[in-house]
Structure 1
Amino acid sequence: MEIVQLVVIGMIASILYLILQEFGAPIGFLIILVSSILIFSVVIKHINGVFQLIHYLGERASIEGMYIETILKIIGIAYITELGSSLTKDAGLSSIATKIELAGKIFILVISIPIITALLEAIINFLPVN
């Protein structure tokens, strides 16, 4: 099972980080970075399958492709933002992590404007005209 391998990689990286941190070695963050990228690269293969399934189901439900693609982009931005934020927090740079999170939220807002617009137009069309 891949999850067991990923957990073992995470545990080994954590132990190495703790050991090297005791000696004051600055390579500890590099271990965190490499292990995070390795774990993310394995997980992204599975996420890609989920994205394809969502796209397929959206087509079957006759949902406009733009909306499905927008939702998938939003999910992708959220995952990438979380990874970047976590890595910078691990490096002790919580102020930069906060800025990364803010940037991710703003990008999600900007990308979601077409969906928000369509939703508001649908609501307006349901309202009675005076």
Structure 2
Amino acid sequence: MDIIQIVVLGIVASILYIVLKDLNTSFAFFLILITGIIIFLAIIQQIGAVFQLLETLGEKANIDGMYMETILKIIGIAYIAELGANLTKDAGLGSVAAKIELAGKIFIILLAIPIITAVIEAIVNFLPTN
């Protein structure tokens, strides 16, 4: 599925949502949920290709595999949290969306701790000792 098809699907689903939200709110939300899943499944192959490219670049740059894996996990968490938050916002549940975003941020911080530690250790090693 190319970008034109994805955009058309999104526009059609949006128009149907606008028409259906007053008639049947549950069905309208279900339509948006299914549309989001279809779009996600359509782009999952491209996401895999991007991850593969980043891993290859990391290997060529002699970056520790742990760091590349952590960065890819962080990117994945950010996108998944955003998707979940947007779906819950579409359902009118802004407070739940905020909690999903907070959880995503906390998981990102937890994954980033080893990278932050390595950066701080590298900076400390460059500082002259008196």
* Cα pair distance change 1:129/1:25, threshold 3 Å: closer
2:66 equivalent in structure 1: 66
Deviation at 1:24, TM superposition (A): 3.8
Deviation at 1:16, TM superposition (A): 1.1
In 2, Cα distance between the equivalents of 1:85 and 1:99?
8
1:112 equivalent in structure 2: 112
2:35 equivalent in structure 1: 35
* Cα pair distance change 1:64/1:53, threshold 3 Å: same
TM-score (norm 2): 0.96
Q: Which runs of 4+ in 1 moved over 4 A?
A: none
Moved more, 15-24 or 98-107: 15-24
Deviation at 1:25, TM superposition (A): 4.1
Q: Percent identity?
A: 62
Moved more, 8-17 or 103-112: 8-17
The amino acid across from 1:6 in the alignment is I
2:54 equivalent in structure 1: 54
1:76 equivalent in structure 2: 76
Moved more, 89-98 or 23-32: 23-32
Q: CA RMSD in A?
A: 1.0
* Cα pair distance change 1:125/1:25, threshold 3 Å: closer
Moved more, 7-16 or 75-84: 7-16
Tell me the matched-pair count: 130
